[in-house]
Amino acid sequence: MGFSRNCWNWFRFLAYLLLLPHSVTPEAAEMPACGKPQQLNRIVGGENAMEAEWPWIVSIQKNGTHHCAGSLITNRWVVTAAHCFKDSVEPSQFSVLLGAWQLGNPGPRATQVGMAWVLPHPIYTWKESNRGDIALVRLDHSIKFSEHVLPICLPDSTVKLLPGTSCWIAGWGSTGDGAALPYPQTLQKLKVPIISSETCSRLYWKGAGQGAITSDMLCAGYLEGKKDACLVSSVPGLGDWSTLEGAVFSPT
Q: Answer yes or no: do 102 and 190 share one domain.
A: no
Residue 192 pLDDT: 84
Please check whether residue 204 lies inside any domain of the structure: yes
Q: Which among 8, 105, 9 has a CA at the least distance from the CA of 51?
A: 105
Q: Answer yes or no: do 133 and 175 share one domain.
A: no
Q: Answer yes or no: do 125 and 226 share one domain.
A: no
Please check whether residue 97 lies inside any domain of the structure: yes
Q: Answer yes or no: do 180 and 135 share one domain.
A: no
Please check whether residue 251 lies inside any domain of the structure: no
CA distances from 140 to 82, 112, 149, 205, 249 (A): 19, 11, 16, 41, 26
| Catalytic entry in 66, 67, 71, 83 | 83
Q: Answer yes or no: do 11 and 129 share one domain.
A: yes
Residue 64 pLDDT: 93
Please check whether residue 155 lies inside any domain of the structure: no
Q: How far apart are CA 167 and CA 152, in angstroms?
A: 14
Contact 238, 220 (CB under 8 A): yes
Q: Answer yes or no: do 69 and 192 share one domain.
A: no
| Catalytic entry in 67, 133, 148, 228 | 133
Q: Answer yes or no: do 132 and 179 share one domain.
A: no
Give yes or no: 177 in active site: no
Please check whether residue 17 lies inside any domain of the structure: yes
> C-alpha angle 231/235/238, rounded to 5°?
100
Q: Answer yes or no: do 135 and 189 share one domain.
A: no
Domain count, the chain: 2
Residue 173 pLDDT: 78
Residue 62 pLDDT: 95
Range of the domain at 19: 5-40+55-139
- The CATH number for 12's domain is 2.40.10.10
pLDDT in 10s for each residue of the chain, 252 residues: 444 444 444 544 554 444 444 333 344 445 677 877 755 443 223 378 999 999 999 999 999 999 999 999 999 999 998 989 988 888 999 999 999 999 999 999 999 999 999 999 888 887 666 778 889 999 999 999 999 999 999 888 788 888 999 888 888 877 666 667 889 999 988 888 888 888 888 877 655 555 677 777 888 887 766 555 543 333 445 555 456 665 554 443
Give yes or no: 234 in active site: yes
Q: How far apart are CA 247 and CA 131, in angstroms?
A: 11
Q: Answer yes or no: do 66 and 125 share one domain.
A: yes
Give yes or no: 83 in active site: yes
Please check whether residue 10 lies inside any domain of the structure: yes
